[in-house]
Amino acid sequence: MRNIGFIVGSLRKGAYTRLLSQAVVELAPQSFKLTEIGIGEMPLYNQDLETATPPTQWVTFRNQVKSADAIIFITPEYNRGLPGALKNAIDVGSRPMKESVWKGKPAMIMSLTPGKLGAMAAHQQLRLGLSVIGVPVMPLPELYLAGAGDLFDGSGKLVNEDTRKHLASALNDFDTWIGRFK
């Protein structure tokens, strides 16, 4: 059993990224035990708070990432970039410098948006940022999901059959990717 953490980049309850995370849980290989790692309650990273007793939310977050075998990032795009909460989570996890919880942790990125580009700019920013802190991100397939409003039904279920197949296949590929780092 693989302990997989997933991070949803949007804080909104009804966000498409949250709906996609539900589909990830539904379609993931049976070898995955998926757990959401919340990012909404963390104070902004401030090195002055990096003392012997950093904020409890930072400690909880860092411990959750440490205990995961791999991480799935599910991000929207805000103004052609990463959501601030997601960037903050990456910063919190990468500090103190020699204690980064990210280094060597296999990852997968998914991005989606109601627009036509599938949050490609946020996806690429995240991929670049993770490479700098030593996170081996699965190179292919890249999941840029456009037209998010048409992928889900009124109850929030991912109903687009092509997207369901693509997502299930990518999650199986991620299982193989994780195995390369054990």
E strands, the chain, in order: 2-8, 32-36, 70-75, 107-112, 143-145
Predicted local confidence at residue 118, as pLDDT: 74
Helix, coil or strand: residue 139? coil
> How do residues 107-118 score in pLDDT, each as one tens digit?
999 999 998 877
- Whether residue 161 has pLDDT greater than 90: yes
- Whether residue 182 has pLDDT greater than 90: no
- Whether residue 85 has pLDDT greater than 80: yes
Q: CA-based angle 73:76:77, to the nearest 5?
A: 125
First CA to last CA distance, the chain: 13
Structure tokens at 90: 């990456």
- Give 9's pLDDT tier (boundaries 50, 70, 90): very high
CB 96 within 8 A of CB 103: no
Beta bridge partners of 93: none
Q: Which of 43, 57, 34 is nearest to 175 (CA)?
A: 34
Structure tokens at 162: 């092509």
Predicted local confidence at residue 40, as pLDDT: 96
Per-residue pLDDT averaged across 88-110, rounded?
96
Instruction: Say which amino acid occupies 2.
Output: R
Strands 107-112 and 32-36 turn out to be unpaired
- Whether residue 165 has pLDDT greater than 80: yes
Q: Which of 1, 133, 127 is nearest to 69 (CA)?
A: 1
CA distances from 13 to 10, 47, 108, 156 (A): 8, 30, 22, 11
Predicted local confidence at residue 97, as pLDDT: 87
Q: Whole-prediction pTM value?
A: 0.96
Q: Which of 83, 126, 76 is nearest to 102 (CA)?
A: 126
Predicted local confidence at residue 5, as pLDDT: 98
Fold that domain 2-179 belongs to in CATH: Rossmann fold (3.40.50)
Domain ranges of the chain: 2-179
Cis peptide before 106 (omega within 30 of 0): no
